[in-house]
Amino acid sequence: MSMKLYNSASHKKEEFVPHEPGKVSMYTCGPTVYHFAHIGNLRSYLMEDVLEKHLRCEGYDVTRVMNITDVGHLASDADTGEDKMVAGARREHKGVLEIAKFYTDAFFSDCEKLNIKYPDVVQPATGMIGEYIQVITRLIDTGYAYPAGGNVYFDTSKLEKYYVFNAHDEENLAVGVREGVEADVNKRNKNDFVLWFTKSKFEDQALKWDSPWGVGYPGWHIECSCISMKYLGEYLDLHCGGIDNAFPHHTNEIAQSEAYLGHPWCKYWMHVHHLNTSDGKMSKSKGEFLTVSLLEEKGYDPLVYRFFCLQSHYRKGLVFSWDNLDNARTAYGKLIARIAALTGEEGAAPAALEAYRASFRAALDSDLNTSLGITCLYDVIKARDLGDAAKRALIAEFDQVLGLDLLQKADVLRAQEAADRAAAPAEGDAEIDALVTRRTEAKRAKNWAEADALRDQLKAMGVEVTDTPQGPVWKRV
Ligand code: AMP
Ligand code: ZN
């Protein structure tokens, strides 16, 4: 059975059939590295990671490419405002490239803690200027783009269909035409967007490059189109991102990529819905926000957050609260304890194994139903037709996709329990301690007869006492 995945471009669940049998080209919009990623951003990467791992387990050879947005992402999605990187560098009194490196490293360190696999290709946007210029030049030559007022714009009226995702999520469409955003008079159409800036209200752009249209910098959208086409070719199977990226970012990526290529570009669009707090969407620009480091500081294992995310569907908004995270921590702890108790050596009939394996695959094949996948995991743990060894084997397989370190954590828990048992006073220790103390006191009182009698009593109990400069030490012999 093949996977069914909700495709935001067609607004329905579709059978996932990549262009080339057995291979999947997958592109993920990477972070804008002007600050730490918040755990909302990481929900998107985490669910995309589960999808990638599921496809790999299904036997696909997946190539995953991610950009790092280190230039061109302006404060407003309507091409106005300051470059987020410039604002970030000023906030920290550092250079743009310096903070880009710092927050890129921080991002991948967070990913590692959450067991999010490092992509096959990671490309910073600033490393592809030549490619942007080449694509923009062709878009101008073919009439899809026009220079105006110093910038180069994409002409959305040249497309038969520009709004790919709008029937899907009208609310998010409002981003580009937000009230209070000053209209750019150079644009021929309201939704035209900038491919190359040489003029903006913010002249202190840190990084600029020479181009046929003057010294300037690329727009955010062209970065993802070019990076994807460079590494994954003209036909992309799967493009992922958070739901806020559907419009205008992904809509614009499709517009420029298809105008450039002259044919359909990406087959499936997977959008992860937002992590919200009780006061709304989590946002980096809001000042205080939740990071993986904060979770760690508060004593949470980052994988508790992964477990929390897996318990709900990626196409539903998820509400974060400390109470919800505590519930996930308790459930994760109990899960590990139950796995730690699976110490038997018995296996199972192959057919029994296969049935559980099939249910887990079916759960993920059904539009990545991770919470159902976790239910399948509990079914394995309590199964009556599986021995402990068979259960452990299935848990290891499921965990290749779930990424919860289940067997490793269970091993750690077992080792810790054994160490605690060894450190705990054994039965009878208190009695021995008392006899040894009485012997010490008898010796101090020079009552040698009693001291010897006590030594003999201890010997009869199998305990040998040695006198050391630090006092008596006893051991069982
Ligand atoms: P950015 O670093 O702002 O470019 O965003 C990185 C990724 O996080 C993008 O795919 C966004 O769509 C996604 N994202 C932003 N906010 C949230 C949120 N609250 N919940 C889930 N994903 C989000
Ligand atoms: Zn992108």
Q: What is the pLDDT of residue 78?
A: 73
Q: What is the pLDDT of residue 223?
A: 95
Residue 2 Cα to ligand 2 midpoint, Å, equals 27
Q: What is the pLDDT of residue 430?
A: 86
Least confident of 112-126, 156-170, 256-270, 461-475: 156-170
| Residues contacting residue 344 through CB under 8 Å, at least 6 positions apart | 387, 388, 389
**Nearest protein CA to atom 16 of ligand 1, as residue:** 41
Question: 174 pLDDT exceeds 70?
Answer: no
Structural domain spans, the chain? 17-272, 319-423, 429-476
Closest ligand relative to 249 C-alpha: 2
**Could you give the C-alpha distances from 67 to 54, 108, 223, 240, 355, in angstroms and in order?**
22, 13, 8, 12, 39
Contact by Cβ (8 Å): 58, 361: yes
Least confident of 103-117, 190-204, 393-407: 190-204
When pLDDT is cut at 50, 70 and 90, the band that residue 300 belongs to is very high
Question: 199 pLDDT exceeds 90?
Answer: no
**Which residues have CB under 6 Å of ligand 1?**
29, 31-32, 40-41, 43-44, 69, 241-242, 244-245, 272, 274-275, 281-282
**Nearest protein CA to atom 2 of ligand 1, as residue:** 31
When pLDDT is cut at 50, 70 and 90, the band that residue 112 belongs to is very high
Least Cα distance to 156 among 224, 210, 82, 79 occurs for 79
Using alpha carbons only, what angle is made at residue 371 by residues 367 and 372, rounded to the nearest 5 degrees?
75
Phi, psi of 146 (to 5 degrees): -145, 140
Q: What is the pLDDT of residue 1?
A: 63
Mutate to test the pocket of ligand 1, among 99, 108, 244 (most ligand atoms within 8 A of CB): 244
Q: Where are the beta strands (DSSP E) in 16-70?
A: 23-28, 61-68
Least Cα distance to 54 among 303, 377, 361 occurs for 361
Q: What is the pLDDT of residue 103?
A: 95
CB atoms within 10 A of CB 359: 15
Q: What is the pLDDT of residue 2?
A: 87
Summarize pLDDT for 437-452 with one digit per residue, the tens.
999 999 999 999 999 9
| Residues contacting residue 209 through CB under 8 Å, at least 6 positions apart | 129, 215, 216, 217
Fold annotation for 319-423: Four Helix Bundle (Hemerythrin (Met), subunit A) (1.20.120)
- Across the chain, what does the average pLDDT equal? 91
Residue 452 Cα to ligand 2 midpoint, Å, equals 83
Contact by Cβ (8 Å): 65, 227: yes
Question: 17-272 is classed in which CATH architecture?
Answer: 3-Layer(aba) Sandwich (3.40)
Q: Which ligand 1 atom sits closest to the C-alpha of 69?
A: 4
Q: What is the mean pLDDT of residues 364-388?
A: 97
When pLDDT is cut at 50, 70 and 90, the band that residue 287 belongs to is low
Q: Which ligand 1 atom sits closest to the C-alpha of 44?
A: 22
> Considering Cα of 336, then 341, then 343, then 347, what sign does the dihedral take?
negative
Q: What is the pLDDT of residue 13?
A: 98
**Nearest protein CA to atom 14 of ligand 1, as residue:** 41
Name the packing angle between helices 96-113 and 39-57 (round to 10°): 60
Distance CA 201, CA 476 (A): 82
Q: Which ligand 1 atom sits closest to the C-alpha of 31?
A: 2
Is the fold of 17-272 the same as that of 319-423? no
Percent of the chain with pLDDT over 90: 74
When pLDDT is cut at 50, 70 and 90, the band that residue 177 belongs to is very low
Distance CA 135, CA 7 (A): 27
Question: 178 pLDDT exceeds 50?
Answer: no
Summarize pLDDT for 220-249 with one digit per residue, the tens.
999 999 999 999 999 999 999 999 999 999
Q: Which ligand 1 atom sits closest to the C-alpha of 41?
A: 8
Contact by Cβ (8 Å): 152, 195: yes
Summarize pLDDT for 26-80 with one digit per residue, the tens.
999 999 999 999 999 999 999 999 999 999 999 999 999 999 998 878 787 777 7
